[in-house]
Amino acid sequence: MHRRNGLFAASVLLVGGLFAAAQEAPFKSDKPPIPGVEVELRISIATLDPLKPEKGHVEVIVRNKSKKAVEAPMVYTGGFQKPSILIWAADEWPLSLRLWAGEKEQRLQKLNPNEEVVVFKSELTEFLLLDHVEPRPLKAKEPRYVWSWYA
């Protein structure tokens, strides 16, 4: 899903470098999208006040509406591994979500036709860095989301 004003989009790079996306990523894939594979970015609340954030979450769902089984990546690597999941804000200079000190090994899940799976889920405060009111240095073994941009 792509939202203008919210500026969020999601993509999933599937096995073999095949690409399924809700919006063109800030990088180019040499593989065409897999027909029938849908990617949805879902946010659990309609409105967010960053000064008083509610409990809420963001998730990415992959649906296989094709006639063949596909494998979906289950570990958020932020585009650094293939296959991969990447979440980004589509803008003139796109932002992409990275995970510091996350899992290194990708796990794949087979999706048969007409099946869906949640490949990413995070609390909104963690995802949007709303709990960062003071500087917090990155630590080697402490998983944490960071946003980076392409300029």
- Tens digit of each residue's pLDDT, the chain (151 residues): 333 344 455 555 544 333 444 444 555 566 677 788 988 888 898 888 888 887 889 999 999 999 999 988 898 877 666 667 777 776 777 788 888 888 878 889 999 999 999 999 999 888 888 877 788 888 888 888 888 877 6
Per-residue model confidence (pLDDT) at position 22? 46
* pLDDT at position 48: 83
For 68-118, the DSSP string reads S-EEEE-S--TTSSSSEEEEEE-SSS-EEEEEET---S--EEEE-TTEEEE
Q: Are strands 18-21 and 108-111 parallel, antiparallel or unpaired?
A: unpaired
Strand order in the sheet with 115-123: 37-43, 57-64, 115-123
The one-letter code for the residue type at 1 is M
Q: Is the pTM of this model over 0.75?
A: yes
Q: What whole-number distance in Å separates Cα of residue 68 and Cα of residue 148?
A: 35
Q: How far is the C-alpha of 63 from the C-alpha of 91, rounded, in Å?
A: 26
